[in-house]
């Protein structure tokens, strides 16, 4: 019975600390946002390969992948930073840039 109570206390402590750990992970993820400077964005163009995109722009802040019949469609997101308040979305179809979009965050 004593071990059970100890186990319950430990469980309660862990559950109580879980939101704190999640918040710390969120802050870590937000601090890793690199964004995409305008100087790099203007050098990207439709038809450019995914490899060249990564070489020029670097790893995206976030990405999504969809399987559309025979093609894989990837969307790369570069989030705004304090020095560059733009959200950049780059859509790749078949390993090539299909569209580029840049929207200012208000």
**Tens-place pLDDT, residues 14-26:** 555 545 444 444 4
Beta bridge partners, 72, equal 67
Higher-pLDDT residue of 71 and 51 is 51
48/26 Cα distance (integer angstroms): 33
85 contact partners, CB below 8 Å, separation of at least 6: 104, 105
The chain-wide mean pLDDT, for the chain, equals 81
Residue 80 has pLDDT above 60, yes or no: yes
Task: Please give the pLDDT value at position 23.
Answer: 43
pTM of the model as a whole: 0.68
Question: Who has greater pLDDT, 4 or 25?
Answer: 4
pLDDT score, position 12: 60
């Amino acid at each position: 019975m004593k071990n059970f109570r100890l186990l319950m206390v430990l469980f309660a402590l862990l559950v109580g600390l879980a939101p704190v750990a999640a918040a710390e992970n969120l802050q870590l993820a937000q601090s890793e946002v690199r964004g995409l400077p305008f100087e790099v964005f203007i050098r990207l163009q439709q038809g450019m390969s995914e490899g060249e995109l990564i070489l020029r722009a670097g790893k995206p802040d976030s990405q999504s992948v969809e399987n559309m019949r025979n093609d894989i469609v990837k969307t790369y997101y570069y989030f705004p930073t304090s020095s560059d308040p733009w959200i950049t979305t780059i859509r790749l179809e078949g390993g090539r840039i299909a569209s580029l979009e840049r929207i200012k965050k208000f």
